[in-house]
Chains A and B, each alone.
Chain A
């Protein structure tokens, strides 16, 4: 909202930004601007004629029209776009969150079970290091997480 009363400065701003035609001016200020135009000074008149020149050029440009085939292509692609999305939004939001939580819990469970199984196997192998030899222990280190190897190993 403008607090200052409408004056020539604002009229010049409008002409500079929107051109000479009052129809292009913001609707809220149009009436005030047109009233101000009645008392236009030479400066306003000059700005108006400059702006009219550019308005005429801009207005003479024929708008580029899209190929009608584009309309057909987009309409044909709509059901696909909607069905791609249907997998998600067709499930109520609350249920989707519950399904996601279920998936996370299942993934964690599988991870824990397989991790436990793998760890048990390795633990067994650690119990009998003599039988593994040099190469065997090298493979074991690669399988271990970094935090289990220790800093001195990494340096």
Chain B
């Protein structure tokens, strides 16, 4: 089995090699989608962000310089697109009464206690945006602290602060619910 470096693959994809293009999409799309889904909590919006991120990536492929990992760059783009959407949503919500969402668990949430997961997701959604981002990248996507910090454009120290606060808030919220 031959090993192809990321730089080679990107060069081939930029040169029109369909195999390399598919391989790049296949490798990076799921992470981008998951991050977008967890931040936006809407499959359609997550798909839009994923597609937009991939298309932006294609446009810069011919000029790509491997100063950072491609996945770090792509997740950073996706994160910014999610932030834009959440900012716009915030303004819309000031004027429009939101539709009632179905409180039943989503299909991806089947587990021993679907209710506990749903509550966890609600608490995650209620976290301040930066804490939610940090938790999504590190706890859900299990990214390394340096990569997550690079994606969020913060220091590792700041990232740890965000993670610590996020986890503390979640723990307290869950404890509060279980208290009689």
Interface residues of A (CB under 8 A from B): 13, 16-19, 24, 26-27, 50-51, 53-54, 57-58, 60-67, 70-71, 73-75, 77-79, 81-82, 84-85, 89
Question: Which stretch (B51-59, B70-78, B87-95) binds chain A?
Answer: B51-59
Q: Give B28-78 interface residues, CB cut-off 8 Å to A.
A: 29-30, 33-34, 37-38, 43, 46-47, 50-51, 54-55, 58-59, 61-63
Partner among A17, A62, A85 whose Cβ is within 8 Å of the Cβ of B160: A17
11 new A-B contacts at CB < 8 Å, known A57-B117, A63-B34, A66-B33: A17-B167, A19-B139, A57-B174, A61-B108, A61-B111, A62-B111, A67-B47, A74-B51, A74-B54, A75-B21, A77-B54
Interface residues of B (CB under 8 A from A): 14, 16, 18, 21-22, 25-26, 29-30, 33-34, 37-38, 43, 46-47, 50-51, 54-55, 58-59, 61-63, 106, 108-113, 116-117, 120-121, 138-140, 142, 144-146, 156, 159-161, 163-164, 167-168, 170-171, 174
Contact B55–A81 (Cβ < 8 Å): yes
Partner among A74, A84, A85 whose Cβ is within 8 Å of the Cβ of B50: A74
Q: How far is the CA of A74 from the CA of B56 in the complex (A)?
A: 11
A73 contacts across to B, CB distance below 8 A: 51
B14 contacts across to A, CB distance below 8 A: 82
B34 contacts across to A, CB distance below 8 A: 63-66
Contact B38–A64 (Cβ < 8 Å): yes
Residue of A nearest to B121 (CB): A61
Q: How far is the CA of A51 from the CA of B174 in the complex (A)?
A: 12
Partner among B59, B142, B167 whose Cβ is within 8 Å of the Cβ of A81: B59
Query: Given that A64-B37, A81-B58 are known contacts, is A89 also in contact with B140, CB under 8 Å in the complex?
Result: no
> What is the predominant secondary structure among interface residues of chain A facing chain B?
helix
Partner among B21, B46, B117, B174 whose Cβ is within 8 Å of the Cβ of A60: B117
B116 contacts across to A, CB distance below 8 A: 57
Contact A16–B167 (Cβ < 8 Å): yes
B165 to chain A, nearest CB (A): 9
A26 contacts across to B, CB distance below 8 A: 144-146, 156
A97 to chain B, nearest CB (A): 15
Contact A71–B117 (Cβ < 8 Å): no
B168 contacts across to A, CB distance below 8 A: 16
B61 to chain A, nearest CB (A): 7
Contact A54–B174 (Cβ < 8 Å): yes
Contact B160–A82 (Cβ < 8 Å): no
Residue of A nearest to B48 (CB): A70
Residue of A nearest to B55 (CB): A81
B149 to chain A, nearest CB (A): 11
Q: What are 23 A-B contacts with C-beta separation under 8 Å?
A: A13-B164, A16-B163, A16-B164, A17-B164, A26-B144, A26-B146, A57-B116, A60-B113, A61-B111, A61-B117, A61-B140, A63-B108, A64-B34, A64-B37, A64-B108, A66-B29, A66-B50, A74-B50, A74-B55, A77-B55, A78-B55, A82-B58, A85-B62
